[in-house]
Amino acid sequence: MPVSKDPDLAHRVSELEALFARSRYLRAVYRLAQQEISAAFARKLERRGDGPTDDAFDELAFFMARSECADARYLQLLGLIATQVIDNARMQR
């Protein structure tokens, strides 16, 4: 059954797209936090600052955890959709 004719599957695919976008957004925020820490270390090496703060590392850990959780939710739903598509294909044989 095509995705467009299975409302449950179509809804899951739409949800998957939203989870993918959220996952990529959180990954970008996490990478930005990494870059800010790298820049702070560079400024410290150049004697233009004190280096990254403890808050910067806390923020990095927070966004890393959120990013990984978003990736896990995305992959979990992707697995469910794959299973449903395979089951639908088997039933149509």
Per-residue H/E/C for 21-55: HHHHHHHHHHHHHHHHHHHHHHHHHCCCCCCCCHH
> Residue range 35-56: average pLDDT?
95
What DSSP state is assigned to residue 3? G
The model scores a pTM over 0.85 = no
What DSSP state is assigned to residue 92? T
Q: Which residue has the tokens 């598509």?
A: 85
Write the single-letter amino acid at 1.
M
What DSSP state is assigned to residue 6? -
61-84 per-position pLDDT tens digit: 999 999 999 999 999 999 999 998
Domain boundaries, the chain: 3-91
SS3 label, residue 1:
coil
Question: pLDDT value at position 71?
Answer: 96
At 3, the pLDDT band (50, 70, 90 cuts) reads low
